[in-house]
Structure 1
Amino acid sequence: MSQLLEAMVLRHTHRVPVPPGPAGDGAAAARQFDSALMSVGFKLSAELLERLSGTAEEAVRETAVRTLATVRAMVGDHVAHNVYFVDFPRHVPDTLDFWMRCIVGALDDHASREGVLAQLSTGTVDLLTLPGYGVYGHAYAEVLAAHDELIAAAGDRLTVLHLGGAPDDEVTALYLALAGSATPLGEEHLRDLGVLAGHCVAGPQPAEIPVRENRAVVNRVRLDAGADLLLDTVTDVLRLACALSGGDVTLIEPTRFRSMPRPVRRALLAGLDAVVAAAPAKLADVTAHREAFKRLGERLHPHEHPRWPHAAEVFAVARGERAARSLDSLVQELLGAGDVTGAVRLLAAAPGRLFRALDHLLRACRTRDERDAVVAAVERAAPQVSGRVLLSLREHLQNRTGATDGRRLFVNRLGRAWAAADTRVPLPEPERKRLIEALDAETGRRLPAPGHLLVDPAVLDVALPLSGRATTGGLGVLPRGSLSPVDGELLRFFVYWKQTRKSTDFDLSALMLDGAYRTVCWLSYTTLTQVEGEHSGDITDATHGASEFINLRLGAVRGSFIVPQVNIYDGEGFEEVEESFFGFMLRESEQQGMPFEARTVRMKSELRGPGRVALPLAFLRDGDGRWHAKWLHLYLRGTPSANQVEGNRVSVATLLRGIVERDFLTVRHLAGLLGERAAATTLWDGGAVPPGPVTYVGLARPEGLHPDSVVVTPENLRDLIPA
């Protein structure tokens, strides 16, 4: 197995594949390996430590080197996190005093004096023109010397790595799990799926690939290997063409199609021809992506291939030369004429679209008979839609109670968020309750009998991953809307970025809001100190990578909400930089240590999204004074440059309110339905686990589980979603 594939298995499963090599005495090397892992917040399980102890020492050391490199990258410890103020968080100056020191230093510099004097004569000074501002004035080694060693604490993170199976078996299992996922994958997972599909193309394949984006990634590999393509709509072919051009298989962002070799063009045209020949009505799907199909036609040259006439029809529809009315347009025509029951009859042939149109249909009803017809159609169609669609509609309905502040939150699949006035009338309560009962009954029917269900209570408030786009790659990351407790005296945020081509300035900030979502204060490069804590200083160029930190004393925080954010002041975007990630650490005040300590990191997530302002998560204080993390994964459009916390306070507060007050569907819901089918249900208290096989649902796999147990943790939480 290559190191890349081994790293994928470790990142996705927290399992170390059985190391190759002969038996031997590797006990000493295994203990050293375990100790090195603990220094960055990881540990070998007892089973894995025992297995390594019986392996040849050289094999253990090779496994240790690879594994340590992977876990350090997982937690963000693969780079040197320097800080502007060498002994941060101690001795961070007042902002104005600091700026004055920078100006005085610039006046003492012969090269900059004249320019600074000219600026002072106008009454303003551009900080970015001062030679001592925004750049590190010391080496990382000086930061190491300025800080005491971290004192270990019981609350430090400890992520257990478990013993995996044979390397090829682990890779195949991961491929089958990702390819067969019932929910869309995030960007990182899709990228990994492409690599895994190439490695596993000649091996076992999933019985079904229900998510279209996943299918496009797999089809690209199958095309290269000469295998049959998995196509049943014209959009499948369009997604495949996007994958071949390195574009967006979700079809959200436009793709610039590359020139394609003749065999590839023939394969795509043959695929389109076969789909349309089998079901001519599928030509209606072309109109939803008319421009993309027109651009694709310019690359495929369908006029050169008369043996595939049905493929030519696709591009005739895209150019407007042939009519192919979409189902949505027909439904809108019927609704415009007041014929709700006719629209319902038409949508009955497309259950997924019926579910998506439900809210609109109910609001269009004028009589009880029409509402009964809509609800009855949904009840009949429920067995034909995916579990993800069932649960998505369930979450929608539980938020349509009529209790609204008049604002509606929108989040697209890329994480870009905005709010608008909610002008919808509430749904009728009898129909809403009836639909919820029907959806719960159908979901429960699809869930497996779990046997002995063992549940970690800490996972119950984790939101169901109904879309991979509702989260990001990283360590300790939970889906949007999840709630998790935060314990510790000090909360420290960090951001790291490394530019690709041009000077790039990211700014880490933290906004504090009261219970009414009004601004209390903030920490940023314009406000380095507050009662709550300190900012590590502004870094304005990341040629060799840059880090910024915010240190908060939770007991001193005024207000009810803390909203960390990353603003792009200038330069490359989140998707353009070579690397960027955000995270937070928790520690006790007496622990000391460096600004960045891997074993205190609770979460590290990649920053890869649209917009110029990132909102990874927020922190909420409950009525008892306890803090919790609320996961956001949102991006604001912002402005092309000079984004600051001061300028987006209102929009951030509005979006935060929308997320906090939304009722997300969580693991608690599915655990309750599973419990109805379980032979026994136990809430795990962190102690000994039952001796026999269980279905375990929790934040991390406990030691000692029976080998035949089914384990669901955040790494594979999507497995809870029924097919």
Structure 2
Amino acid sequence: MSSTTVTTRTATTPRSLAAVLLARRGVVHLPAGGDVSEPAGQVGAALLEADLVERGYLVAAPLRAAFAALDAGALGATGRALLQDIDRETGADRPHEPLLRGFPDSTPRDTYAHYVDRVLTVLFQQPEQPCVLCGTVDSVVPVAPCAHLVCGTCFDGADFSACPVCERRIDPDDPFLRPKRPRRIFSRRPARPQRLRLLTYGGDLSDRQRDAARELDTLLARTGALSPQDTDDLDALLAARPRDDLDRLPATVPGRETKARLVAWLLADPADLPATLPFATGLLDTPTDVLRVLAVRSGGDAGLVRIPRFARLPRPLRRALLSALDALDPAQAAQDMRRHRRAWIHAAELLHPFEYTDRYPRAALAFAALRGTALGDDALSLALRKGADGVEAIDVSGPAVTVRSWRGQVEAALADRDLHRALALLGQRPGELVRRLDHLLRLAREGDGDGAGDEGRAVVSALERAVGRVAPAVVLSALGALRTRTIARTARVFFPKGAAARAHVTDDGRPPLPAELVRSVAGVLTAEMLRRARAEAPVEVAVVDAALDGVVAPFTERTASRALVTLPRGSELAVPDGTTLRLFLHWMESPASGRTDLDLSAAMFAADWQHIGQCDYTGLRYGGTAAVHSGDLQDAPPPLGASEFVDLDLEQLAEAGVRYVVAVVYSYNNVAFGDLADAFAGLMVRDAPGSEGPVFDARAVEQRFDLTGSSRACVPLVVDVQARTMRWLDVVKGVTGTQHAVWRHAHALATLAHRLTELFGSGARVGLGELAVWQAAARAATVVLRHTDGSRSVYARRDGEDVAAFATRIGSPDTDAAEPTAPPRLAFLLRGDVDVPDGGEVFAVYPYAQDATRVRLLTASDVVTALAPH
């Protein structure tokens, strides 16, 4: 059951329902036992358990017993499927053979000399002649299919997995390739991985739908855009349920993109439309909802980043969508449509709104306002004038239908520095008011001088009226950004909406905001979050890990990478002492990509972000053994593909003067990651020196993420060598041309990593530790704070102490002595090693021993969703 099966797959191949529940909840469902005459017993269960432990998974006692009760054939089939799903999550389902099979010990000490040897071989080596490098006779042979003449004395066929001259894969049966030397086994058992997780028994296969329904409910309750992995899981969960079971679906879905995918699924089968159409269209309450549905059912993106050519609409669906549009205010609908004007004009070609002016006059009026339809004496013009009665924002008195743009009015008010008019307009759309708080506060500062006068109070009052209706992610983004605005900064970072996570760095010329005004606004936003947290069920005791202060509340999840461990962008975690970080990369070409050369690189920077070196294909070693590369494979044909590794010894790097190491993956010949059949990278944490253990150890994998989309360069993380921390960046970098390497992009890499590190370390993004303290203070009578050194501080709510004061005191020296006697029913943890009673709630970056069949496991997105408006 431990053998690796090689299959061609794309990075975005959807997970099965079993794999979804395994990854999200750590739950395994097994076939019903029935009449088992010869159960596999404890021996069979122990063998499977051993395979799981080697991959970083523990087996709960009920699951072990259920394994033992299966017959041998069922256990074998179940075990193979389970291990295949786990191997796919960690990347162990692919063969990982680097260019230098003895890596890191066999990596050349002098990369330049190795390169010169290769060049001399190409230029001067002749068949049936002594080796031009060593003079050995009868040692030179051509390798297939590249036909380079290679000396078996100079280049060890037991160490190379490809042609040592061109570094491309050769025929596995080529005589040059001798059996690789066995790697040394571990001298001691490898350390327990951080991500070690408990697998639990979810019941038989009939119980799988129950658990799937719970996960679906959780995703449909999310207020923000789902990550690509959550989106894939949503599609898998929907595909596993019948469309006629509408009672299980919520009447409202707060996430706009999630709603679009749900509605598109409901409308996918024409045979089900009589039942699903009324329910689906009842979920649509804005024109953009309709446009999102049209995009998704046409194979596009619910975020409308990429809008495809729309698929044809059945007549019942066309009428239902027009009916949904007709129920909206035509002026607001027209203004909403203007955000995607070209797409709506295309949609009109499918919906034919002017053919149904009698039945859907308001929808026709909205389209006419969007298009600026000319008015005359024809029947259409008469119908449009009639439909415009009572709609003040749409003007039909002129030669064409026009609409006063709300967004244009806001921009004009801001340009005129008319704060009160801008506040009146923005009050109509609370989310926009919160998004534009910085601009409004700058206008107040101009009017009041210090922001403490009427202008500042007007902004605070408008915010107090609006904030109760704003999504938590918007409130948290505004809070983080504003509370750092009391000091001047030289750079500003944007994350533009798009298909990939690009970070745009620009100069910041904004003047600082008055501290008193910032405190007032931050107080309003924080008070609103605390008020919402109080709406959740109270508990007696809550536990919070101080280590969560480095974990950032999730934002821009739409562009998050599909990853083994869901870590919000910007989060910082400690690297265990005495370990080596091993970066890994694997890719496989496809017919669309042709020959593709990806390069795994590590860029080294000093404390002032000056570039001082790299470990990549131009320099296979840095500082002796401080950083070591496994060699540059320059193609990746199936079925083997190609793998590259970089070992980082943080102690040696620190001695060499390195402060920051930036990991980066380049597509050398500018092939998009998404064109490949398979592409992923990740990080292992190893405590074995040199060549001990396998080159790829599934147990040691702490993070694995897919390389997808149109990007050609990815910057996944930065390591602070001195602080021994790793910060998850998960951004892509724009590059042009070919022959990409660190030295060509060193300045841009330094700017990007420096500014992102500065941004996330400044408090400009609210941390999950802060959210955990707010929710614990709002819901619990006693809060236990666990410090990173293992000590604990206890805080009990005092008589007359409100939630804000209690939350402020948590983390201060003003503690209470008595340890709580009741067990915690609410826990926010880095590693799930706290025993929580049945029915409790647990957030853990690494779930570890948490049993999803007993407690409710929360994700970072769930922690934010709990603060949604009630």
C-alpha distance in 1 between matches for 2:418 and 2:439: 13
Q: What is aligned with 2:288? A: 235
Determine whether 1:530 maps to 2:622.
yes
Give the residue type in structure 1 aligned to 2:650: L
| SS of structure 2 residue aligned to 1:451 | strand
- 1:689·1:705 contact (CA, 8 Å) conserved in 2? no
- 1:537·1:548 contact (CA, 8 Å) conserved in 2? yes
Alignment of 1:77-88 (within 5 A): 77-88=92-103
**Runs (5+) with no aligned partner, structure 2:** 1-13, 128-141, 150-162, 374-400, 793-818, 846-857
Determine whether 1:389 maps to 2:474.
yes
Give the residue type in structure 2 aligned to 1:310: R
- 1:464·1:665 contact (CA, 8 Å) conserved in 2? yes
The one of 420, 445, 459 aligned to 2:548:
459
Q: What is aligned with 1:105? A: 121
Q: What is aligned with 1:362? A: 441
C-alpha distance in 1 between matches for 2:69 and 2:821: 27
Determine whether 1:653 maps to 2:755.
no
| SS of structure 2 residue aligned to 1:474 | coil
Q: Structure 1, residues 234-259: CA drift from partner, whole Å, max 9, x if none?
A: 00001001101111111123323234
- 1:569·1:644 contact (CA, 8 Å) conserved in 2? yes
Q: Structure 1, residues 391-435: CA drift from partner, whole Å, max 9, x if none?
A: 121111123222413444445453112211111122221111111
C-alpha distance in 2 between matches for 1:142 and 1:42: 35
C-alpha distance in 2 between matches for 1:435 and 1:717: 25
Determine whether 1:316 maps to 2:368.
yes
Q: What is aligned with 2:507? A: 421
C-alpha distance in 2 between matches for 1:395 and 1:354: 16
Alignment of 1:103-252 (within 5 A): 103-107=119-123, 108=125, 132-136=165-169, 139=172, 145-150=181-186, 151-157=188-194, 158-164=196-202, 166-200=207-241, 201=243, 202=245, 204-206=248-250, 208-224=252-268, 225-226=272-273, 227=276, 228-229=279-280, 230-252=283-305
| SS of structure 2 residue aligned to 1:575 | helix
Alignment of 1:364-513 (within 5 A): 364-365=443-444, 366-367=447-448, 368-412=453-497, 414-447=500-533, 448=536, 449-469=538-558, 471-487=560-576, 488-501=578-591, 502-513=594-605
The structure richer in helix per residue is 1
C-alpha distance in 1 between matches for 2:777 and 2:58: 36
**Offset, 1:634:** 0.6
The one of 294, 299, 320 aligned to 2:345:
294
- 2:540·2:822 contact (CA, 8 Å) conserved in 1? no
- 1:612·1:637 contact (CA, 8 Å) conserved in 2? yes
CA spacing shift, 1:539–1:269, aligned 2, 3 Å:
farther
Q: Which moved more, 1:683-692 or 1:313-322?
A: 683-692
Give the residue type in structure 1 aligned to 2:116: M
- 2:21·2:28 contact (CA, 8 Å) conserved in 1? yes
Q: What is aligned with 2:606? A: 514
The one of 671, 675, 681 aligned to 1:572:
671
Q: What is aligned with 2:862? A: 719
Q: Which moved more, 1:48-57 or 1:499-508?
A: 48-57
- 1:86·1:142 contact (CA, 8 Å) conserved in 2? no
Q: What is aligned with 2:715? A: 615
Give the residue type in structure 2 aligned to 1:439: L
CA spacing shift, 1:683–1:185, aligned 2, 3 Å:
same
Q: Which moved more, 1:710-719 or 1:253-262?
A: 253-262
Q: Which moved more, 1:301-310 or 1:583-592?
A: 301-310
Q: Which moved more, 1:48-57 or 1:232-241?
A: 48-57
Q: What is aligned with 1:699? A: 830
Give the residue type in structure 2 aligned to 1:587: R
**Offset, 1:87:** 0.8
- 1:691·1:706 contact (CA, 8 Å) conserved in 2? no
Determine whether 1:667 maps to 2:768.
yes
CA spacing shift, 1:231–1:390, aligned 2, 3 Å:
same
Q: What is aligned with 2:392? A: none
C-alpha distance in 1 between matches for 2:210 and 2:67: 19
- 2:782·2:820 contact (CA, 8 Å) conserved in 1? no
C-alpha distance in 2 between matches for 1:610 and 1:426: 38
Give the residue type in structure 2 aligned to 1:10: L
**Offset, 1:635:** 0.7
CA spacing shift, 1:665–1:672, aligned 2, 3 Å:
same
- 2:492·2:506 contact (CA, 8 Å) conserved in 1? yes
Q: Structure 1, residues 568-588: CA drift from partner, whole Å, max 9, x if none?
A: 112531222222111011112
**Offset, 1:442:** 1.0
Q: What is aligned with 1:121? A: none
| SS of structure 1 residue aligned to 2:837 | coil
Larger radius of gyration: 2
**Offset, 1:469:** 3.0
Q: What is aligned with 2:635? A: 541
- 1:510·1:562 contact (CA, 8 Å) conserved in 2? yes
The one of 711, 715, 725 aligned to 1:628:
725
**Runs (5+) with no aligned partner, structure 1:** 118-129
Q: Structure 1, residues 529-586: CA drift from partner, whole Å, max 9, x if none?
A: 1112211122222221211111122111132111000011125312222221110111
RMSD between aligned alpha carbons? 3.0
**Offset, 1:312:** 3.2
Give the residue type in structure 1 aligned to 2:166: Y
Q: Which moved more, 1:201-210 or 1:66-75?
A: 201-210
Task: Give the number of equivalent residue pairs.
Answer: 705
**Offset, 1:697:** 1.8
CA spacing shift, 1:704–1:408, aligned 2, 3 Å:
closer
| SS of structure 1 residue aligned to 2:309 | coil
Q: What is aligned with 2:377? A: none
The one of 652, 671, 682 aligned to 2:784:
682
Give the residue type in structure 1 aligned to 2:360: W
Give the residue type in structure 2 aligned to 1:542: A
C-alpha distance in 2 between matches for 1:147 and 1:480: 36
Q: What is aligned with 1:550? A: 646
- 1:23·1:54 contact (CA, 8 Å) conserved in 2? no
CA spacing shift, 1:254–1:484, aligned 2, 3 Å:
same
C-alpha distance in 2 between matches for 1:679 and 1:719: 22
- 2:169·2:636 contact (CA, 8 Å) conserved in 1? no
**Offset, 1:281:** 2.2
Q: Which moved more, 1:130-139 or 1:535-544?
A: 130-139
